[in-house]
Structure 1
Amino acid sequence: MRPPAPEHFTSRLRSPAVAARVGTWLGIAFGLCFLTGVYSHVAQLPDPWIALPTRPSWFYRVTQGLHVTAGVASVPLLLVKLWSVYPHLFTRPPRARRDLLLHGLERASIGVLVAAAVFQLVTGIANSAQWYPWAFSFRATHYAIGWVAIGALVIHIAVKLPTIQQALTSDIDDAALDRPAMSASGGLSRRGLVRTTWVAAGLAVLATAGSTVPALRRVSVLGVRSGDGPQGVPVNKSARAAGVLESAVSPDFRLVVAHGDLSVSLTSADLAEMPQTTADLPIACVEGWSASATWTGVRVRALLDLVGAPVGVPVTVTSLQEHGPYRATILPGNFAADDLTLLALRLDGEPLDIDHGFPCRLIAPNRPGVLQTKWVTRLEVSA
């Protein structure tokens, strides 16, 4: 059986005019995903190559909300984009050497771009649902393939730029760029298809944005963990999963603050007797969900002062949990010095639920949720 030829596809909807318009919004969505993804990756590095700010406290929440909603919006945009350009897959290569080189470059960039885009969207959505049917590191792989996708996108745009410019500056019904075989009109116009695609992308965003925007939670039927959880805040890892059900409530619990040869050991009662600070701070996850809450606890800087730690040095924060990549995290110096960075003891006026890190947890402004260490048992100045 022979593969179909381009002339077998007669719909006028499969046009450069549609592909360029849908592709523009797809490129914007992919650009947002890339930039916010790079920011999240840098924010999670133990020693980031650029000092990230602590304010505004909600910035990480916004970037990851944009990351996930832009990714979800990309799904209908990508499907329509691929459908509109599908006939070009069967175009015969030109014979002229220069044209053949450009044709090959375009095909290669498209192949890499499509494969990378599908991989990013599928694994990203699976990550939002906390479903990991693979053995590789999601964060490292997602970050690496993101660079591959954006590189292939830049090459594709460069190769197709003349066609894109002509398509976008002409009326959507202009047939100048159409293939000769495109004659079937059907019941849907090109404008109708583009508008339908935008509506589908908008509905996809509306169905998921409630994970970040509380006002949309009632209509965001696909929003993950939006407002669910003890004390109204979602939980990714429970105390049972972390193996701290006994150690977190043990009367032998101590928080150790160390700097060189100096260290202090504090009980839960000692922490409760120290000056308390209350702050409204969001907690935001790389999976897209976030929640605002009122946290009360001891400023980390006040704890470091007990051992004479200098201001602006990084701090290693260690959890009671016995295993996991985030058992110990690095708190950068500017975060440790910020007055809003707390070792929280209470959430919304009540003692922390054990799943939220009882007896104490880290909460800092503009910081990924996976680095807001729970069940903290040790603060150690790294320098």
Structure 2
Amino acid sequence: MRWRSPIRGPWLTSMFALPLLVGLPVVAFTGLLDRLAYGREQAIPAADAVGGLQLPWVDWPVSPAWLFRLTEGLHVGLGIVLVPLVLAKLWSVIPKLFTAPERNPVKLLERLSLVLLVGSILFLIVTGLLNVQYDYVFGFSFYDGHYAAAWVFLASFALHVVTKLPTMVRSLRSRSLRAELATPLADTRPEPAHPLVAPDPDPPTMSRRGAIALVGGGMLFVAALTVGQFTDQLRSTALLLPRGRTTAPDSTERGGPNDFPVNRTFVASGIAPAAVGSAWTLTLTGGAAPVVLDRAALAALPQHTAELPLACVEGWSTSQVWTGVRLTDLARAAGVTDPVTAEVRSVEVGSPFSRSLLNRAQTLSPDSLLALRVNGADLSPDHGYPARLIVPALPGVHNTKWVATIGFSRAAVR
């Protein structure tokens, strides 16, 4: 196979690699933080499948309230924005993937790191984009497949950086960026002889500055289609938003208090309407005896209002004004004065996310609520009516909807 582009070479490859050297570690690090936010205690599906790769359990903080929104937004948003740059970088080195490596340990190690790096990053991109679109065509847990591949990526990325960083630095110093950006198509010439440089190149159809502009423009275009997933004011521009730009069932409710993204709908939960109807009650445990409250009794308790974000692993996030009963007030009502943990269970059964286990900080935060209302109106069924959990900095799926029981405990979870 012949590769004849006259602009391909170590300098252009290094130009594409430089921002990836910064951006990809940010994507990886925020992904690991998101994994910590989910926690083993949060019953991630098939969490034991990754065995020794499991991160240690930590108490995820509740402050700042937008922490998970930031880490998940960076992980998904920056990951998507970097896709054009990753593809450009792969295009720039593709001739090397089709040549046999030299038979010495260093070159073989370099080739191994390259193969693992390319394979893992393509796997992460594809599974990540499919997850954003809720399209689980693969026959394995996204959480654990994506997580295991991330460790392969981190190891191969570190090895690749160690072996190629000196080459990248030399290549960047070999040509002037300012000069290249001033070079028109007519004056574009191949780089000096190198395994990435075509020995018999075709006439140029694009300058190096054109290639850089094309990739940069692609990244800006993708960013424009993505940023609305994290910004309520720009949601109408989020053409990639998996659940659409409105969740209202008809035009009369669009722009209303409950018109913001929803992951799992009431219909999808399979809950019988009667289970969350007028006969619904909340059971509080942990004290001397269970305490049962209906919605009217909850509404009669002191109400607290807080503006809190809701952020989901698929990448979208939103900030809404929630009103409900503080978990600390519910703990006192249950007869537990100093809870260490709280276990919240949903009316829904059979879902891996129908339960949430809160640590001490999450339980005691003054903004941790059993919400009854949002933006001044009762919750809609899709958003968890008659009551849902909302906790600062907690991943969206763990803000349990259609709450049935809350169990408070003075013992830490081990």
The two structures share one fold, judged by TM-score above 0.5: yes
Deviation (angstroms), 1:190 = 1.4
Q: Which residue matches 1:88?
A: 96
Aligned equivalent of 2:378, options 326, 347, 351: 351
Q: Residue 227 of structure 2: which of 206, 209, 218 is its match?
A: 209
SS in 1 for 2:307: strand
CA shift for structure 1 position 168: 2.1
Q: Is residue 381 of structure 1 aligned with residue 408 of structure 2?
A: yes
Matched positions, count: 373
**What is the CA distance between 1:292 and its match in structure 2?**
1.3
Q: Measure the CA separation in 2 of the matches of 1:141 and 1:128.
A: 15
Aligned residue number for residue 11 of structure 1: 5
Give how far 1:182 is off: 6.1
Shift of 1:260: 5.1
- Farther off after superposition, 59-68 or 334-343: 59-68
Mark the CA change 1:191 to 1:177 in structure 2 (over 3 Å): closer, same or farther: farther
Name 2:45's counterpart in structure 1: none
2:146 corresponds, among 138, 142, 149, to 142
Quote the offset at 1:227 in angstroms.
4.7
Is structure 2 residue 238 aligned with structure 1 residue 220? yes
* Separation in structure 2 between the aligned mates of residue 9 and residue 127 of structure 1, nearest angstrom: 34
Look up the SS of the partner of 2:273 in the other structure.
Answer: coil
CA distance in 2, matches of 1:195, 1:341: 47
CA distance in 2, matches of 1:93, 1:368: 45
Superposed displacement of residue 54, structure 1? 0.7
Q: CA contact under 8 A between 1:320 and 1:376: conserved in structure 2?
A: yes
The alignment partner of 1:294 has SS state of: strand
- 1:8-50 CA-to-partner distances (Å, cap 9, x unmatched) read 4332321111111112223333212211111111111144622
Distance in 2 (alpha carbons) for counterparts of 1:215 and 1:167:
43
Change over 3 Å in CA distance of 1:30–1:256 after alignment to 2: same
% identical equivalent positions: 36
The aligned residue for residue 208 of structure 2 is: 190
Instruction: Using the TM superposition, give the Cα deviation of residue 177 of structure 1 relative to its aligned residue in structure 2, in angstroms.
Output: 6.4
Query: 1:162-195, CA deviations, whole angstroms, 9 ceiling, x for partnerless residues?
Result: 1111112232569356447165450311122122
Matched AA of 2:23: A
Residue in 2 that maps onto 1:175: 191
SS across alignment from 1:113: helix
Choose which of 249, 260, 266 in structure 2 pairs with 1:233. Answer: 260
Q: Which residue of 2 aligns with 1:127?
A: 131
Gaps of 5+ in 2: 42-55, 181-189, 249-257
Q: Does residue 1:151 correspond to 2:155, yes or no?
A: yes
Divergent runs of 4+, >6 A: none
Q: Which amino acid aligns with 2:362?
A: F
Which stretch has the larger CA shift, 46-55 or 315-324?
46-55
Change in 2 beyond 3 A, CA 1:279/1:162: same
Per-residue CA deviation, residues 329-351 of structure 1 (Å, 9 max, x unaligned), is 10111011000000000111111
- Give, in angstroms, the shift of residue 251 of structure 1: 3.0
**Compared with structure 1, are the counterparts of its residues 302 and 227 closer, same or farther at alpha carbon in structure 2 (3 Å cutoff)?**
farther
Q: Which runs of 5+ in 1 are unaligned?
A: none
Alpha-carbon distance, 1:149 to partner: 0.7
